[in-house]
Structure 1
Amino acid sequence: MPFGLGWFDYKIPIELEKSIQIGQLVKIPFRRSSLFGIVFEITAETEIKGGAKEIEKIILETPILTSKYIKFGMLCAKFYGVSPTIFFRMMLPPLQARKLQKVKLNKIKEVVKKPKKTKFFIYKNLEEQKKYLTKIISEPTLILVPEKEDLENILNLLPKEGVISWHSGLTEKEQFDTWFKIRNGEKKIIVGTRGAIFLPIPNLKNIVIDKEHHEGHKHWDQNPRYHTKDIANLYAKIFGIQTNLMDFSPSSESYFYIYKEIYNVPKNTKQKISSPPKELPKIINMVNERKGKNYSSFSWEVEQKMKEETGDIFLYINRRGLAGCLICNNCGHIERCEKCNLPLVTHENTKTLQCHYCKIKKNNFNQCLKCRSVNIKNFGTGTQGVEKELKKILPHKEIYRIDGDDENVEFKNEDQRIIVGTAKAFRNIRWEKTKLIIFVNIDTELNLPEFGAQEKIWHLIQKVQFIKEKNCLFFIQTLSPDYFLFKSLFEPDRFYRMDLNGRKALSYPPYNFIVKYIYGHENEFTAHKEAEKLYNTLTNKAKTCKILGPLQSTPMFYRRKYWFVVLLKKKLNETEENRYTIYKEIAEINKEIPSDWRIDPNPLSLLSV
């Protein structure tokens, strides 16, 4: 719903005038039915001609949301350009009239607290993580993890008493019961995925965001496109709640804020960041392998280690299919998707070329469609290609491929598990039994034209280093062994400095706050025209911001629409107060954005749909 359609005026019946309060759950008539509503303002007059309909009844005498949560929800709605209804629904459980009759709400006394500086804690092992959490949870605390798989790990570090979890896997009944236990203060420690940040927790003192670098803290694929760190910043300002960030691999932004002393940190934090792990991955120079006439996906050393290993093996490659694309060696033609223009990926099991965006398939062929040459070949390696080569090297071993094509793998009861997969395979790895890990080819990911591409690979390497057992060998194969990221494994500060220098030159976070506006239409000319119109609107309205666009999205044609992007960049000063000021400024700007535009503050990607 558009922002302006989130609230309606209703008349207070005489018998309810003395009992009506802001934040109460009420029953209201809406068209031909009755709905639940939240009272967010009480006024003496209405602008509705002919008078407003009356509230039917008060469902719960005690307000279900406090006035501060009402204010918080309204600001979020403005900032993300959606109806307040969306955020209030995210704050509440599934509402069922029959169950609500048996519910009793405890009253909450709102306490005025001053905003506090964000704290950051880096941990090198689970014991350090547990020690830090133990200090915090003496007070009501919300702990956020990026993925549902992380919940169990955190719960194992906490005491059993007074702890409850919240995630999308709960049934409606479980959500209802859990929500009221939290709302009435029966549970003081809540562990959840990103949606838990909207739970109205009484007298909340701390928000902990674990693995703060992880993209799972961003709700990126549908409205509202929020990031838990931005929401936590709003909490800190409105409620005075302490934000605590934790990680074994700090994000580039957090590194910046730590060294600028914007975050409060323990004394040894900078030393921990600059100290590399004792055991580093071995970098394999694949250029030398090619010089030695080895054109396999594996170096000689890696191939020998795989033949000798009796424990679990994991081979990572972040590309599905047999190969990245089909290219003609005669004319250079690359077969592309007719809709989005991205290269089609070869899939051997179905003998097809596929577009993973548009979900189209076409039969493979043995000659170039442009020049009719038969001198065509697959370029780049995908999970199917690695699996095919691996079966030749280990013909008597069971190989499991886990990627977007087939995530539901049934493992047999053999002692050894050999997995070829993308990032989706990580949840299936038996880390305690894995003795060999190979990053087959990450060069393509390092060269993606996105400001966060290098950082994403950095954190992936650090994740493996953090989780793997000490006796597990870790190899990274690359054609660019002198790339700064690999050199930085011995000197982590170097990576952060280089990454931040690049961000500063291009006005990326943490030097600027970015908002991405996305628009799609069946007609390319219309889509571009609307993007130009918004560019002009923002240029005139947001005088203190830099506006870029219109830019073609990647892919440009997706789900039967042509997509364009307009970017807003607002310079950030080195204070957390400045960030809150920017939130309010952008909230005012976003009120002017048409409802058919997607608004993405603090985006993960600048050009993707």
Structure 2
Amino acid sequence: MYAEVIPLVRLPNNLHSFDYVIPDDAGSVKPGVLVAIPWRSKELFGIVVRVKQEAGVKKSKPISAIVHKHPLIPAWQLSLWQHISLFYHFSEASLAQRCVLPLQKRKIKNLTLSPLKQHRTLVIPAAPSYFNYARASEQRDYMVKHLKKPGTHLYLTAERFEAEQAAGWLRDAGVDHIVYHSELSQKEQFDAWCAVRNGEIHVVVGTKSALFLPFPQLSSILFDNETNDHHKNWDAQPLYHAREVAHTVSQLTGARLHLMSHIPSLETYAALQDGLYTKEKNATVCSTKQIRIVNMSNERKKGNYSAFSDSALVLIEQSRDQSILFFVNRRGYARALVCADCSLPVQCPSCALPLVFYQAVKELRCHHCSIKQPLTLTCTRCRGSSFKQYGRGTQQIAQDVATLRDTFKSTLPVVCLDSDNPNVSIPPAGWFVGTDFALSRIPWHAVSAIIVVDTDSMLTRPEYTALEQTYSRIMYFAYRMQTTKGAVLLQTYTQDHPLFAALKSDNYKLFMEYEYEARKKLNYPPAAYLVRLEATTAALIKKIHENIAAAYPTLAITGPYGKHEPYSLLLRFQKNMVQSALLEINAMLPADVRVDPNPMTL
């Protein structure tokens, strides 16, 4: 008898499992069992995937030891590993290494595994539901009500601070739970992993990594703040979106999936319209009545060329002794330096994007390539020495806000919060200038006003999702201000844009319909399914393009893109063909090609 074993070690994307001989004295070996296997000159742990009569190779080494007779991994999770491996073009061994608890020989000897509870007869779960909340109290009540029900439940958030907030609500409600995320210590992860595996915990609150915990049984998944980009694993393979993995876990375990947020994503809105999701009763939508829109063109006509409109100055003066968020979605001092003579921006030598100016250190930086260079004083095209600054970043706005603090005689500190200042101390109250980085760190309960300094810079990002992300961010601000009864002020030069028309009408469906129709015309999600392929050389991506085009002549392929690594292709699938077609395409790809389904950026 042979066992197909996944070694718990990082492997190339095209290597997954290996066959080993089951010793005659091993007894019954089941899928999911933890074993010790010889691996080159050392010994590794591995997980048995299946038991079979014949091996795939002529000579197989024997298993060194059966570490535990009871399966460590439930059957549904083995199926999940296989799905992710095939769909995201990632080694099953590398995935298993990340999903299994941090194994140490000393701890393994003392590890007690109870028999896995027999999973209830798997039934197709009911259609996913969606709950819209307008206030934190509605979000809390819905969550607590569901997590108090009998069974085992998983509550997923996008960020760690949201998980800690939810844990506080559960403590107040007397619900036993654990919190699980990647920032826990190794011991905390080990203890939580074992408690879930042995069925000792019935409520888990966590971020996307909690989806890979070995639940013996799972009754429901609550997926909160579904529009947050942090649900996407964008910086390391496998490049999955937690919402898609949650759907798969739901299908494999029979758990009911409940999505919830302050505003639905466009994909969820389309699913609701098509009857694929059900909408929960008593759901409410954030009101936009506290949102004020200021036309900056009128400010310029009045001679006001500062970063802040007269309406913003009035709001700042009214809130001078309270916390204010000045939202700016660009770091640095100025977004670009442009030659005053020939209008050529100072560009990154690698990607050709404008370099961002940092005044304090007299430096130019590319946020895309992480390149830094001293301040350029001579234009590379016309040799001119006069430059103009375009676009205000967080550092310039923080400087302006500090001046306003002195003008209005506020005693609160000005704090700049962006990824350039990750370790800055957060006071209990202040005037906060920040990017998205600030949203998980500021004391929201103290914020009485939000000023979006340049809304247009969010709208004009070169991404097909820019409009949806901008609307979602503004509605997030509205949701936050529902509790404190604060105001949200948007400064724009394009007040006739359909986004602002939807905000003025206090009707989110108006925006959703506009954006959905635009996506349909351009064949973008949710009307289609996008997959981005990345390769290290132009020749390789060209060869991949030729192979895919030959195998799928009707598939819409855009690219190749890129003047430097990574070189990429964009595939547009019809939703009814993506599952089968992508698996076949992935089987054609070399091991070092990255596959990014549902990419955040094109």
TM-score (normalizing by structure 1) = 0.91
**Moved runs in structure 1, 4+ residues, more than 4 A?**
none
2:108 aligned partner = 100
1:349 aligned partner = 360
Counterparts of 1:24-103 in structure 2, within 5 Å, are 24-49=33-58, 51-103=59-111
2:262 aligned partner = 248
Choose the corresponding residue for 1:437, options 422, 447, 450: 450
How far, CA to CA, are the matches of 1:543 and 1:477 in structure 2? 47
Is 1:410 matched with 2:419?
no
Is 1:504 matched with 2:528?
no
**Displacement, 1:120?**
1.1
1:591 aligned partner = 587
Is 1:459 matched with 2:472?
yes
Structure 1 residues 225 and 508: alpha-carbon distance in aligned structure 2, compared to 1, 3 A threshold:
same
Secondary structure of 1:157's counterpart equals helix
Structure 1 residues 344 and 118: alpha-carbon distance in aligned structure 2, compared to 1, 3 A threshold:
same
Secondary structure of 1:334's counterpart equals coil
One-letter amino acid matched to 2:466: A
**Displacement, 1:360?**
2.6
Counterparts of 1:72-221 in structure 2, within 5 Å, are 72-108=80-116, 109-116=118-125, 117-137=127-147, 138=149, 139-158=151-170, 159-221=173-235
**Displacement, 1:160?**
3.8
How far, CA to CA, are the matches of 1:198 and 1:595 in structure 2? 24
Choose the corresponding residue for 2:375, options 354, 364, 388: 364
How far, CA to CA, are the matches of 1:483 and 1:546 in structure 2? 30
Structure 1 residues 428 and 24: alpha-carbon distance in aligned structure 2, compared to 1, 3 A threshold:
closer
**Displacement, 1:237?**
2.6
Residue pair 1:78, 1:588 contacting (<8 A) in 2 also: no
Residue pair 2:130, 2:279 contacting (<8 A) in 1 also: yes
User: For structure 1, which segment, 34-43 or 367-376, has the greater mean C-alpha deviation from structure 2 after superposition?
Assistant: 367-376
Residue pair 1:26, 1:55 contacting (<8 A) in 2 also: yes
**Displacement, 1:543?**
4.9
Secondary structure of 1:37's counterpart equals strand
Is 1:569 matched with 2:572?
yes
Residue pair 2:426, 2:442 contacting (<8 A) in 1 also: no
Counterparts of 1:309-324 in structure 2, within 5 Å, are 309-324=320-335
How far, CA to CA, are the matches of 2:154 and 2:551 in structure 1? 38
Counterparts of 1:416-495 in structure 2, within 5 Å, are 417-468=430-481, 469-489=483-503, 490=505, 491-495=507-511
One-letter amino acid matched to 1:162: D
1:264 aligned partner = 278
Secondary structure of 1:41's counterpart equals strand
Deviations 1:413-453 (A, max 9, x none): 8xx51111111112332222222221001212201121111
How far, CA to CA, are the matches of 1:385 and 1:37 in structure 2? 54
How far, CA to CA, are the matches of 1:104 and 1:365 in structure 2? 64
How far, CA to CA, are the matches of 1:68 and 1:432 in structure 2? 41
Structure 1 residues 107 and 584: alpha-carbon distance in aligned structure 2, compared to 1, 3 A threshold:
farther
How far, CA to CA, are the matches of 1:106 and 1:326 in structure 2? 64
Secondary structure of 1:438's counterpart equals strand
User: For structure 1, which segment, 420-429 or 169-178, has the greater mean C-alpha deviation from structure 2 after superposition?
Assistant: 420-429
Residue pair 1:517, 1:597 contacting (<8 A) in 2 also: yes
Secondary structure of 1:219's counterpart equals coil
Q: Report sequence identity in percent.
A: 32
**Displacement, 1:22?**
1.6
How far, CA to CA, are the matches of 2:530 and 2:160 in structure 1? 28
How far, CA to CA, are the matches of 2:581 and 2:515 in structure 1? 28
Residue pair 1:113, 1:240 contacting (<8 A) in 2 also: yes
**Displacement, 1:544?**
5.6
**Displacement, 1:113?**
1.9
**Displacement, 1:268?**
5.5
Structure 1 residues 405 and 239: alpha-carbon distance in aligned structure 2, compared to 1, 3 A threshold:
same
Secondary structure of 1:588's counterpart equals helix
Deviations 1:376-413 (A, max 9, x none): 21011111111222233333653221112112222568
One-letter amino acid matched to 2:20: Y
Deviations 1:269-322 (A, max 9, x none): 5xx45xx51633111110011111111111122124324422112111011111
Residue pair 1:324, 1:381 contacting (<8 A) in 2 also: yes
How far, CA to CA, are the matches of 1:279 and 1:216 in structure 2? 28
Residue pair 1:280, 1:465 contacting (<8 A) in 2 also: yes
Deviations 1:543-569 (A, max 9, x none): 5632222122xxx44xxxx32211121
One-letter amino acid matched to 1:447: T
How far, CA to CA, are the matches of 1:301 and 1:67 in structure 2? 60
One-letter amino acid matched to 2:106: R
Structure 1 residues 90 and 319: alpha-carbon distance in aligned structure 2, compared to 1, 3 A threshold:
same
1:237 aligned partner = 251
Residue pair 2:448, 2:484 contacting (<8 A) in 1 also: no
Secondary structure of 2:67's counterpart equals strand
How far, CA to CA, are the matches of 2:75 and 2:165 in structure 1? 35
User: For structure 1, which segment, 426-435 or 88-97, has the greater mean C-alpha deviation from structure 2 after superposition?
Assistant: 426-435
One-letter amino acid matched to 2:237: N
Residue pair 1:322, 1:381 contacting (<8 A) in 2 also: yes
How far, CA to CA, are the matches of 1:72 and 1:359 in structure 2? 36
One-letter amino acid matched to 1:257: A
Secondary structure of 2:21's counterpart equals coil
Choose the corresponding residue for 1:536, options 541, 546, 561: 546
Residue pair 2:288, 2:475 contacting (<8 A) in 1 also: no
Residue pair 2:177, 2:202 contacting (<8 A) in 1 also: yes
One-letter amino acid matched to 1:482: D
Structure 1 residues 435 and 233: alpha-carbon distance in aligned structure 2, compared to 1, 3 A threshold:
closer
One-letter amino acid matched to 1:493: K
One-letter amino acid matched to 1:437: I
One-letter amino acid matched to 1:152: E
**Displacement, 1:584?**
4.1
One-letter amino acid matched to 1:79: F
- Residues paired across the two proteins, number: 578
How far, CA to CA, are the matches of 2:480 and 2:355 in structure 1? 35
Residue pair 2:223, 2:259 contacting (<8 A) in 1 also: yes
Deviations 1:207-266 (A, max 9, x none): 111011111111011100011111122223332221111111110111111122110223
How far, CA to CA, are the matches of 1:327 and 1:440 in structure 2? 22
Secondary structure of 1:454's counterpart equals helix
Structure 1 residues 412 and 255: alpha-carbon distance in aligned structure 2, compared to 1, 3 A threshold:
closer
Is 1:279 matched with 2:297?
no
One-letter amino acid matched to 2:143: L
1:524 aligned partner = none
How far, CA to CA, are the matches of 1:544 and 1:64 in structure 2? 44
User: For structure 1, which segment, 316-325 or 228-237, has the greater mean C-alpha deviation from structure 2 after superposition?
Assistant: 228-237
2:8 aligned partner = none
2:4 aligned partner = none
Structure 1 residues 424 and 566: alpha-carbon distance in aligned structure 2, compared to 1, 3 A threshold:
same
How far, CA to CA, are the matches of 1:293 and 1:44 in structure 2? 84
User: For structure 1, which segment, 401-410 or 153-162, has the greater mean C-alpha deviation from structure 2 after superposition?
Assistant: 153-162
User: For structure 1, which segment, 597-606 or 537-546, has the greater mean C-alpha deviation from structure 2 after superposition?
Assistant: 537-546
How far, CA to CA, are the matches of 1:352 and 1:4 in structure 2? 43
Structure 2: which 5+ runs fail to align? 1-10
Residue pair 1:79, 1:588 contacting (<8 A) in 2 also: no
How far, CA to CA, are the matches of 1:140 and 1:118 in structure 2? 17
